[in-house]
Amino acid sequence: MVKTSYDPYKYKEVRTVEEQIARKKKYRRNSELLYVSDYLATFYPDDITKVNVKLGPRIEKVGNYELTESEKRALYGFRAWADGIAITENAIILIEGKIKPERYADGIGKLELYSKMVPRTPELEPYRDRVLYPTLLVPIRDPTFELMCREHKFRYTVWCTPMMDKYLETLQRCDRSPMSYGDFKDEAVETLARMKMMKDEDK
């Protein structure tokens, strides 16, 4: 299988976690791209991987007007794009990375949309026979959103490196703490526990 790679440091505005800590920069989307890129390099080193994945059909015309090649290229950036993707021999892992818990809900919503756009993406045509696994990648476990992912049949992956821990320490406590929605969080914890018990009983 041919491996493609993405250099997270290619663009000037993308900084390493160390640089962001040193500059005391606030959270930015580039942090998520670097986070997803590191995850792909760590767990899918021999597979096809890419960050900033364009999804959906190419825009070939507007109404009855056929676009020129330069116009098509100009509109290329208007397609939806996911944080990352890994293509293995049997699966497509569609990844949306979120660092702040307050953004996890946004990640689930995007995964729901992006998973429906994958079959309409011409660049992924050769891999349509593979199982799709929409995945929310986060550094902090939040039972509320873990339960929501399970209900949507999405993967909920918690991955936090020592460097990410240092980055999280630069954020305000409210920005790195699991969200709380009253009793709903407690209900989510209880539901997850029951689901685990049922799974253990089936073994």
Please provide the size of the chain in residues: 203
Q: What pLDDT was estimated at residue 11?
A: 39
Q: How many CB atoms lie within 10 A of CB 108?
A: 20
CB of 100 closer than 8 Å to CB of 172: no
Calpha distance 118→174 (Å, rounded): 34
Calpha distance 4→37 (Å, rounded): 12
Query: What fold is seen in the domain 17-202?
Result: Trna Endonuclease; Chain: A, domain 1 (3.40.1350)
Q: Is 128 helix (H, G, I), strand (E, B) or coil?
A: coil
Q: How far is CA 18 from CA 34, 86, 96, 165, in A?
A: 11, 26, 22, 11
Calpha distance 195→133 (Å, rounded): 20
Domain limits, the chain: 17-202
Query: What residues contact 71, with CB distance under 8 A and at least 6 apart?
Result: none
Q: What pLDDT was estimated at residue 63?
A: 67
How do the pLDDT tens digits run along the chain, 203 residues long? 444 444 444 434 445 555 554 454 444 547 888 899 999 999 999 999 999 898 987 666 566 767 676 655 665 566 788 999 999 999 999 999 999 888 899 999 999 999 999 998 988 999 999 999 999 999 988 888 888 898 899 999 999 988 888 888 887 777 777 765 555 556 666 666 666 655 554 44
